[in-house]
Structure 1
């Protein structure tokens, strides 16, 4: 369920390779005359914007150059892709809540080349319903809520990579890369030992891939084939295993255990612990007798 936000809300995350992820919302706009609502010039960049509506956006206007290309609404779950090299202007005439991903063209070219075939950009689309994009967006939302923190970097890297792969395949004409197999034995040992030695630190997908001398896309596929889980999920389980060990010991507070196990705070730790173990940390301790 998408949580309601304050009247005005914006939270932006800066990701790797120049990507940015923003959740923006505004309420109590409906009923305001169009003459009182400013027309916004969207800054031009050599990048693509992907916007997914989190609630019905009843009315807005969009111009490309001097031409009005949209006057109306978007339903919750609909996506739009625009090329920011062009001149765009918009006017928000009703309440909105959306998630915006900005992908530099150079990043699209780099990641798609790593995935098997280089593409130069994405097709511009309006009002597209894509269940895969919608579910990936839902996975990102906990990192973009009102009380959210930086969270799990490897998880965000993995979801962003999955989002890009899907966009490139379906809106950039890129076929899925051929499966390249498991990690070699030495790669499995190296990356496993590295992750276990750094459970209390923030790790990135690029950092883990570098331990194996692979691209992020290749590493993610090979890691899952080798360990049975994506990197972020495997790392999460190891952190919870360490947390269980520390919870059995006396003397450490829940907040200290959370930080030692690589969680951003006690709340983040509690949520992940319950997802993995089916019960919160204190409930688990009581169950141990």
Structure 2
């Protein structure tokens, strides 16, 4: 990175709500894998955006526009799909710019995100990929991305692309249909099967990972949502996926644990000092892995060579 004067101070935020018409949830440990789960073909009802989240989105957009040749800013994931939980869900965003970012612009973006992170507790969950307008066609292309408090490069997957076409929320500029090529059902189904077979199934061989909440939550919810999409081409929310997990035979104890942490009362902060895996976490990990292996195999065997049937 070049050493040049820093970016201008963050502008004063606009009134809450100006950007409330705003990506998913990231994969565990940001491994090289899909960053979402299957989307629905039916546009959900637009959820109301809480004032704290709207304030952050307003502030981000106001700071972004002077720094980049911005053509559009979109939201996908939980906020766009109606399952957003303040402080628990990620804020998954896609920015379309006229051209690739320069090294200096990349540096300024890093400082912008770091400043937001220091001054707004919700900003730690704000993720944004920056796509040049002439680089949107290839789902395998890697794009500059801020995620998990650092700049990196990763793809915008077919899942995210379908999600944007189906219920993406426009914060600024053109709609996704104007700038982003659509994803076919065959492309989406192929991607989902590959995700299950090449990422989630091998990940079960790493037992230590499954002591973490994020692995349990995303592994279980991804399976349920992927199964429904491969079966009939529709999307369900994470909340709806909990019911599907029951139908698939998932352990009640694990389903209840996910429901409580994602939708129940906020948990107290952990005690100070080094964290040690508890017996409860070890049992939960064992139950999760014992269920997911055969369940993934059944889904792949059932829907391994078919495309989802049209809804209705």
TM-score above 0.5, yes or no:
no
Q: Which has the higher contact order (CA 8 A, sep 6+)?
A: 2
User: Under a length normalisation based on structure 1, what TM-score does the superposition of the two structures give?
Assistant: 0.30
Higher helix share: 2
Higher strand share: 1
User: Under a length normalisation based on structure 2, what TM-score does the superposition of the two structures give?
Assistant: 0.28
